[in-house]
Amino acid sequence: MDAELPTTAQVRRLLDEQLPARLRDLAGAPVRFAARGWDNAVFRVGEGHAARLPLRAAAVPLLAAELRWTAEAAAPLAQLGIAVPVPRFAGRPGAGRPWPWALVDWVP
């Protein structure tokens, strides 16, 4: 069963409740909806980050694989001039959202 599209208020709560001290500078950053795909909703967090939230249970393992492989591929791809959304934080369910989520670098 699909979940409802997350709200900016839910994303704000996830950030406020879960971000570690090293990312606390994002506590006051604006959150705005950016995109909805089949598996994830994306919210821009400030100018430099994005929150990715699965919209269905089947997307959770895909997000986990994405976080693993983009973290590993980021440095070699950067040497080639290719930007990737480097994972910065892996969140847990909360704020009425049933699945884990991720904070990544924003790549236009």
- Domain layout of the chain by residue ranges: 8-105
1 confidence band (pLDDT: 50, 70, 90):
very low
Backbone angles phi, psi at 28, to 5 degrees: -105, 5
Q: How confident is the model at residue 27 (pLDDT cuts 50, 70, 90)?
A: confident
pLDDT of residue 18 exceeding 90, the answer is yes
What is the pLDDT, as a whole number, of residue 58?
Answer: 95
The string of DSSP letters for 8-74 reads HHHHHHHHHHH--GGGGGGTT--EEEEEE-SSEEEEEETTTEEEEEESSGGGHHHHHHHHHHHHHHH
The pLDDT value given to residue 2: 57
pLDDT in tens, 29-81: 999 999 999 999 999 999 999 999 999 999 999 999 999 999 899 999 989 99
CB 60 within 8 A of CB 54: yes
* CATH code, residues 8-105: 3.30.200.20
